[in-house]
């Protein structure tokens, strides 16, 4: 198999990239391990920042998002001292989120990519990657095979094979396990509050995020290594009630739990995110903890930058943007990491055995006070929360 840009992985990163390249008439082939049904059903993030909404809109990929997505502009923080809301849509740059479940976005992107004449093979697992020749070997139901492009885009997520194709001596890896785990829960229940709500409690963090009129996402901080099966529906709702302080703020609208899985808060960045003919996009380039919902937004940002750089190289013989792809993306990746790290420190109590847990608690209190009272801090929060 021979193509111009060979893309590994049909998540948001690979699909946005593929669509943007097809719009320029560039030949692309996407190889995806999962089946179409599997990737279209995978529940993931749902908060698209302003830049993501712009990219999707400008490139004709936003019909579903504009029709079914919901604008969100407020978040709330709850703890022992009460609750306050931040209407971030009126702070900072005045930007909002669009809430649109990622599997719906992926479904739209696949349909549009095929419409644009893109080639896409499901059930194909890439096993070997050669960055120098932009060649991969793969395995599928019919056996094994080889594919080659002029360029290779590694969009295969955090456990993918493409990032391993950059020689270890050429990269610096920055990996951190934040020592925190969330039980991520999807419930067949309407949202309980108008706003995204972050609750801080001695039992641990709890979060509430609207998803669609019928489905609401909740998070519960749990000990790393906890078994999701140990969390029955009853136990989940009871613990959410405690941490969300329903006695004080009113009940949650309950419904069946349809998905429960443990998410470990990890960061894993490599530098550079390109080598020879290989360019990494999305989680393959940098894994970010979900604490600020930046993962999919970084993927879309990088896909647009890489699409522009590849288009310059292929249609105008101009390699400048391609040569500096990694240098362009990494400062933005680190800004997002920094903000998500700040969110982790805001939302969670002391994680490891701290010599003085009271100190951490007091710092968290001060962070929250500052966010509640200081307009400059609120503006900065709003810009970082919705922006990249």
- Contacting residues for 376 by C-beta, under 8 A, at least 6 apart: none
9 makes contact with ligand APR (CB under 6 A): yes
d(CA 246, CA 237): 11
204 makes contact with ligand APR (CB under 6 A): no
The one catalytic residue in 88, 100, 113, 198 is 198
Name which of 160 and 204 has its Cβ closer to ligand APR.
Answer: 160
The one catalytic residue in 72, 97, 201, 341 is 72
Sign, CA dihedral 285-290-294-300, equals positive
Site string for ligand APR, 110-129 (x = CB under 6 A): ---------------xx---
The residue to which tokens 């094994």 are assigned: 144
Is residue 290 annotated as part of the catalytic site, yes or no? Answer: yes
d(CA 379, CA 337): 18
The one catalytic residue in 97, 178, 275, 294 is 294
Q: How far is the CB of 282 from ligand APR (least distance, A)?
A: 2
Q: In this structure, are residues 104 and 66 in contact, taking their beta carbons and an 8 Å threshold?
A: no
Name which of 73 and 283 has its Cβ closer to ligand APR.
Answer: 283
Q: How far apart, in Å, are the Cα atoms of 12 and each of 56, 162, 232, 248, 334? A: 11, 16, 31, 40, 20
Q: How far is the CB of 358 from ligand APR (least distance, A)?
A: 35
Strand partners, 261: 184
Q: Output phi, psi for 255, to 5 deg.
A: -165, 175
d(CA 137, CA 147): 6
Name which of 74 and 125 has its Cβ closer to ligand APR.
Answer: 125
Among 5, 20, 29, 39, binds ligand APR (CB under 6 A): 39
49 makes contact with ligand APR (CB under 6 A): no
Q: Which element (helix H / strand E) includes 19? A: helix 12-23
Among 5, 6, 7, 11, binds ligand APR (CB under 6 A): 11
Task: Please state, as a whole number, how many other Cβ atoms lie within 10 Å of the Cβ of residue 238.
Answer: 11
Q: Output phi, psi for 329, to 5 deg.
A: -80, -40
Structure tokens at 235: 């136990």
Among 156, 239, 268, 304, binds ligand APR (CB under 6 A): 156
Name which of 126 and 273 has its Cβ closer to ligand APR.
Answer: 126
Q: Pick the stretch among 58-66, 108-116, 181-189, 277-285 that binds ligand APR (CB under 6 A).
A: 277-285
Site string for ligand APR, 293-312 (x = CB under 6 A): --xx--x-------------
List the one residue out of 361, 78, 292, 342 whose CA is nearest residue 200: 78
CB-based burial label for 381 (10 Å; 0-12, 13-18, 19+): buried
| Beta strand 196-199 pairing with 286-287 | unpaired
376: Cα separation from own chain's centroid? 27
Q: Pick the stretch among 28-36, 199-207, 253-261, 323-331 that binds ligand APR (CB under 6 A).
A: 28-36
135 makes contact with ligand APR (CB under 6 A): no
Is residue 385 annotated as part of the catalytic site, yes or no? Answer: yes
101 makes contact with ligand APR (CB under 6 A): no
Structure tokens at 67: 């029709």
Q: Pick the stretch among 17-25, 178-186, 281-289, 369-377 that binds ligand APR (CB under 6 A).
A: 281-289
Name which of 30 and 200 has its Cβ closer to ligand APR.
Answer: 30
Size of the site for ligand APR (CB under 6 A): 28
Q: Pick the stretch among 152-160, 215-223, 312-320, 369-377 that binds ligand APR (CB under 6 A).
A: 152-160
Q: Which element (helix H / strand E) includes 261? A: strand 257-271
List the one residue out of 120, 152, 157 whose CA is nearest residue 32: 120
Q: Pick the stretch among 33-41, 267-275, 309-317, 369-377 that binds ligand APR (CB under 6 A).
A: 33-41
The one catalytic residue in 12, 113, 178, 290 is 290
Name which of 102 and 192 has its Cβ closer to ligand APR.
Answer: 102
Q: In this structure, are residues 367 and 345 in contact, taking their beta carbons and an 8 Å threshold?
A: yes
d(CA 313, CA 188): 47
Name which of 296 and 346 has its Cβ closer to ligand APR.
Answer: 296
Is residue 219 annotated as part of the catalytic site, yes or no? Answer: no
Catalytic positions, written as ranges: 72, 198, 290, 294, 385
Binding positions for ligand APR, rule: CB under 6 A: 8-14, 31-34, 39, 44-45, 102, 125-126, 155-157, 160-161, 282-284, 295-296, 299
């Amino acid at each position: 198999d021979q193509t111009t840009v060979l893309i590994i992985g049909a998540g948001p990163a690979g699909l946005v990239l593929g669509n943007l390249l097809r719009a320029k008439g560039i030949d692309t082939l996407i190889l995806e391990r999962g089946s179409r049904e599997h990737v279209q059903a995978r529940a993931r993030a749902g908060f698209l920042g302003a830049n993501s909404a712009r990219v999707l809109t400008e490139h004709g990929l936003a019909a579903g998002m504009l029709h079914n997505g919901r604008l969100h502009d407020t978040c709330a923080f709850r703890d022992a001292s009460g609750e306050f809301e931040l209407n971030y849509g009126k702070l900072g740059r005045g930007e909002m989120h669009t809430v649109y479940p990622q599997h719906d976005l992926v479904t739209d992107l696949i349909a549009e990519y095929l419409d644009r004449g893109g080639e896409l093979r499901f059930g194909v697992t890439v096993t070997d990657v050669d960055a120098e020749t932009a060649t991969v070997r793969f395995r599928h139901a019919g056996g094994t095979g080889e594919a080659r492009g002029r360029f290779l885009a590694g969009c295969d997520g955090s456990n993918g094979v493409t990032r391993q194709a950059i020689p270890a001596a050429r990269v610096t890896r920055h990996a951190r396990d934040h020592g925190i785990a969330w039980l991520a829960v999807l419930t067949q229940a309407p949202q309980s509050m108008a706003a995204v709500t972050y609750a801080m409690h001695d039992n641990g963090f709890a979060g509430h995020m609207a998803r669609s009129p019928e489905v609401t996402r909740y998070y519960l901080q749990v000990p790393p290594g906890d078994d999701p099966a140990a969390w029955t529906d009853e136990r989940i709702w009871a613990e959410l009630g405690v941490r969300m302080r329903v006695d004080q703020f009113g009940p949650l609208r309950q419904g069946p739990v349809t998905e429960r899985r443990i998410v470990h808060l990890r960061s894993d960045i490599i530098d550079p995110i390109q080598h020879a003919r290989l360019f990494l996009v999305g989680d393959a380039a940098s894994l970010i903890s979900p604490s600020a919902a930046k993962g999919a937004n970084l993927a879309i940002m990088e896909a647009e930058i890489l699409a522009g750089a590849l288009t310059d190289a292929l249609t105008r013989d101009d390699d400048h943007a391609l040569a500096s792809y990694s240098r362009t993306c990494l400062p933005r990746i680190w800004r997002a990491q920094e903000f998500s790290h700040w969110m982790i420190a805001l939302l969670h109590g002391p994680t490891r055995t701290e010599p003085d847990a009271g100190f951490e608690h007091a710092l968290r209190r001060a962070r929250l006070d500052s966010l509640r009272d200081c307009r400059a801090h609120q503006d900065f929060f709003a810009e970082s929360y919705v922006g990249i």
